[in-house]
Amino acid sequence: QVRIEGSVKRLPEEESERYFHSRPKSSQIGAVVSRQSTVIPDREYLRKKNAELEERYRETTVPKPAYWGGYILQPDVVEFWQGQTNRLHDRIVFRRLRD
């Protein structure tokens, strides 16, 4: 297990846009076709929608969806936990030093 504590902020729109377009076109289309946490009818729906968008954006740029973006995590604590069969578990914690 890995646990991280820290502050999180939204990635600026320009950086999200730049990163989205640095990815392969197939990944960009995949991000549009399969919006995270959205229920889809079935796999065939994904295949058809993917083929449709591949055709639509064959010669043009895939627009970054408004919902797509990233976050920046500034970690203060990172903890690694590994269970052992004898219950003498390994737990390693790193904490950011403050000035």
Active-site annotation holder among 3, 87, 91, 95 = 87
* 91 is an active site residue: no
DSSP states along the chain: -EEEEEEEEEPPHHHHHHHHHHS-HHHHHHHHHS-TT---S-HHHHHHHHHHHHHHTSSSPPPPPTT---EEEEEEEEEEEE--TTS--EEEEEEPPP-
- Report d(CA 94, CA 74) in Å as an integer: 13
Active site residues: 87
